[in-house]
Chain A
Amino acid sequence: MKLNTSRETLLKPLQTVAGVVERRQTLPILSNVLIAVSGGHLNMTATDLEVELIARTPVEGATDGETTVSARKLMDICRALPEGAAVEISESKGKLAVKSGRSRFSLSTLPVGDFPLVPKIEGATQFSAAAAQFRNTLARTQFAMAQQDVRYYLNGLLFEITSNQLRTVATDGHRLSLCDCPIEGKIAKPVQAIVPRKGILELQRLLGDGDERVAVTLSDNHIRIELGEAVFTSKLIDGKFPDYERVIPQGNMKRLVGDRETLRQALHRTSILSNEKYRGIRLKLGNGTITAIANNPELEEAEETVEVDFTGEAMEIGFNVNYVLDVLAVLTSQEVEMMFIDSNSSCLIQPRGEKDSRHVVMPMRL
């Protein structure tokens, strides 16, 4: 392998993949990056066995070949070179030589065959989606994922794929969020897959603001997402997601419509004096108003009333205010709808005028 290029051409893909390079280093080769040159492309691959990232860059006049070398050291070298410097890398006899100007580096390599790549993804479901919508779908649900729950199937985001839509669902047992995203592709039969928490967080970091499309491939064991110059692959959680439809309240509900930002700010202010551990807040629904009341063990109290569109029977309900604030923060609509049954039933929150996302928050007895 031989490659003449600039510092930036090397550095950008390295920085993209460096995030998943194993820090704990259970296996020495996981601290390495796999560098492969073929067909005029430079591919850099890093893995921590849960998430694999490949960054692609076109290169010119390169000789094909592949090797693995310490990601950290190669990145530090590239960073330390002057901006715009020309770099030559070449591999021979188990060493990777990096030359730039009068600098010479010789890095030790490990065999490519030892690098635990994800094998070819077979028998797969494939579809594509607009990057912006895809990112939005993740953002609107990922906050509700459980963290280190013994119900391990909750420590991730459910991808449910039907003929023309992707639905993501996350729940930690106290609240649930789901969001739909239109997709294109041939889906033979509906598929469910749970992507682990770590993968989702990494994926969010990768998804840019661009309006390109992302291509998603799903097999029994992995999900692979191609976003422009990066290819993201994550293992899936080996479990079955609970039947979330049953959790979403339905039927005859009291409907409240309010300005999202006004509600969010009011709740946020009130929450300052709620119990720091339980974060409980009481909502009093009256004719055309909602009153948020919080108090804490120090006997301090906060109360704020917001004008809303509500004409049902008056009621009172308690929530963990963080759950409600999380939802109000990720929505983008001007107004939100909150649907209640009674003070012992879950509340459904959804953006007004949009049908693609729904959020359920369980009440709290205060």
Chain B
Amino acid sequence: MSVELGAPYPWHGPMWGRLQSGWRSGRLPHALIFHGMPGVGKRAFAEAFAASVLCRNSDDKGRPCGICGECQLMAAGTHPDITRVEILEDKKEIGIDQIRELREVVTLRSHRAGFKVVIVDPADAMNVNSSNALLKTLEEPSGDTLLILLTARFGALLPTVRSRCQAVAFPTPAAADAEAWLRGVLDRPDDAPALLALADGAPLKAQYLAGQDALPMAAGLIRELEALATGKSDPLAVAERWAKSDIPTTLSWVGGVLYDLARLKFGGVPSLINIVSRTSPLHDFASRTDPGPLFEMIDRVREAQRDALTSLNQQMILEGMLLHWNERFTNMNKRAKS
């Protein structure tokens, strides 16, 4: 496991400064929740902060020295005083046994005579039992312990967990900052705005998407949407193809396009539509349709997103949504002709 040792990402600046000064003056609570959407660098921040806390010679900015024994062990991923609680392979949750084990580790003195750091990622993967098992530790850990809980769904944590920690919000960085950083790391910097749009503004997610050939995939989806809108495509065949894709991503992207159409209609600033060409039939559709049917279509995406998390037949969920859309598109096309 490689660990990010360098300074955190540029948009973390203010937060890093605040937490570091809290740490240095001993005002930092022993339990923190980092919350924010996926891809804003919560984990990297937590790892960097842990490295800074464990390093014996970190500088006044909190940068670890990189040469002491602690830093070496951190770099090798074998530091004995950092415990990471994650979802185990083949599991969907963080189970109570993992928390019980953690409890045992936390009640022991530290290995290297420094601090003990615990990172729970993602904290919302704890079920009710494991969350409850963690309460006692969160409330009163033994000395020199720092617990960091990470989550993209702050509201999904038990109130009893939330109330025992100090919450640190990780906002999505300003578009300009995110784009500036993303341009620096991409092979094709000009893709940055489109990728950021696909990633809902989260820079690390955008970087990840760049490696996944996300832009061609998104373009393909838009072509499918256009074909649907002009009645050139069979919704059932589309559903079959989409069922083989990563369904949550597909839904969030096509949903994004519909949101943009709605924004455009009301004179807002669209984000995803930038990757839809001006001559697309979707623009045409958006300008002619009533808001009502458009919002109904968006509602169907939301429904499908929710249903996709259950054990319902995924292809049938998509079929239901696409047949509904098809009806809207067809109605609109008929009206255009008459």
Contact = CB atoms under 8 A, between A and B. Distances in A.
A binds B: yes
Interface of A: 27, 29-30, 49-50, 111, 113-116, 118-119, 122, 148, 150, 152-153, 155, 196, 219-222, 235-239
Interface residues of B, number: 23
Nearest to A152: B107
Contacts of A49: 80, 105, 111
Q: Which of A29, A221, A222 has the most CB of B within 10 A?
A: A221
A219 B110 CA distance: 12
B113 interface: yes
23 contacts: A27-B77, A27-B78, A29-B76, A49-B111, A50-B108, A111-B76, A113-B76, A114-B78, A115-B78, A119-B69, A152-B104, A155-B107, A219-B113, A220-B109, A220-B113, A221-B113, A222-B109, A235-B110, A236-B109, A237-B108, A238-B109, A238-B143, A238-B144
B107 A238 contact: yes
Contact of A116 (B80, B108, B144): B80
Q: Which of A111, A119, A150 has the most CB of B within 10 A?
A: A119
A221 B79 contact: no
A116 B73 contact: yes
Contacts of A221: 109-111, 113
Contact of B111 (A116, A122, A152): A116
Interface of B: 69, 72-73, 76-80, 100, 103-105, 107-113, 136, 142-144
Chain A interface main SS type: loop
Contacts of A50: 105, 108
B113 A237 contact: no
A113 B76 CA distance: 8
Contacts of B144: 238
| 9 smallest beta-carbon distances between A and B, as pairs | A114-B76, A238-B142, A152-B107, A221-B109, A116-B80, A235-B108, A236-B109, A49-B80, A114-B78
A142 B110 CA distance: 23
Contacts of B107: 152-153, 155, 237-239
A343 B78 CA distance: 55
B69 A114 contact: no
A238 B108 contact: yes
B13 to A, nearest CB: 31
A114 B72 contact: yes
A270 B337 CA distance: 98
Given A238-B108, A238-B144, 11 more contacts: A29-B78, A50-B105, A113-B73, A116-B79, A152-B103, A221-B109, A221-B113, A235-B109, A235-B111, A236-B108, A237-B107
